[in-house]
Structure 1
Amino acid sequence: MYDKQNLNRLETLNASAPEGMDAFWAFDQAAFKAGTIDGKTKQLIALAVAMTTQCPYCIELHTDAAREAGASDAELGETAVVAAAIRAGGAITHATHMFDK
């Protein structure tokens, strides 16, 4: 199902729902603007979230953006490990529900 060419279809979505999509793009741009958290860190956060949601589009786009912002292989690697720990932690903490009776 993943095909980076699908991103070309965003233009159709933009044209089909311009008000909502304009709002989305403005929000996205504001969220990633450097502020208290620098741009590279924001991209690493986005990459970790993308790994946990398993969105291949986001993984590719935010990996590229993190690299453009100066992220090293070591930073990308640690980001992946943090994302994996959060996924695993969710499984472990949800496992506690098995013992409620």
Structure 2
Amino acid sequence: MSASDELKKLAPLGETKPDVMKAFVAFDTAVMADGALPKKTKELIAVAVALTTQCQYCLAIHTDMAKKAGATTEELAEASFVAAALRAGAAITHSANHVVDGK
């Protein structure tokens, strides 16, 4: 089953708690709207976070939304490398704190 097929299950999930789903959608919409950061920047951040958390659904949705907001392939690639650097940095810092000197 593809990610887009699985996302179709959101509607039945929302039907179980419509007030909660409505609140989540309203929150998500408000967060991702233009503000101090433009929507394109927020979507690029979301792509980097989705890569870091490895959420295939968020990655698909926010990559598409970033493109619709005007993000270029170069900008998406740069956001991807930022995510990779942060994941690598976390491995290095955890190593420094837990591996060095047998900790």
Report the TM-score when normalising by structure 2.
0.91
Q: Offset at 1:17?
A: 1.2
Report the TM-score when normalising by structure 1.
0.93
The answer for the alignment partner of 1:37 in structure 2 is 37
What amino acid sits opposite 1:68 in the alignment?
K
1:7-86 mapped onto 2 (5 Å cutoff): 7-86=7-86
Distance 1:70 1:84 in 2: 22
Over 3 Å counting, the alpha-carbon distance change for 1:2 and 1:94 in structure 2 is: farther
Q: Offset at 1:57?
A: 1.1
Moved more, 13-22 or 85-94: 13-22
The answer for the alignment partner of 1:98 in structure 2 is 99
1:40-89 deviations in Å (ceiling 9; x for gaps): 00000000000001111111111111111111111011011000000000
**Structure 1: runs of 5 or more not aligned:** none
Q: Offset at 1:2?
A: 5.0
Q: Percent identity?
A: 51
What amino acid sits opposite 1:22 in the alignment?
K
Displacement over 4 Å in runs of 4+: none
**Structure 2: runs of 5 or more not aligned:** none
Distance 1:77 1:45 in 2: 12
Distance 1:14 1:40 in 2: 27
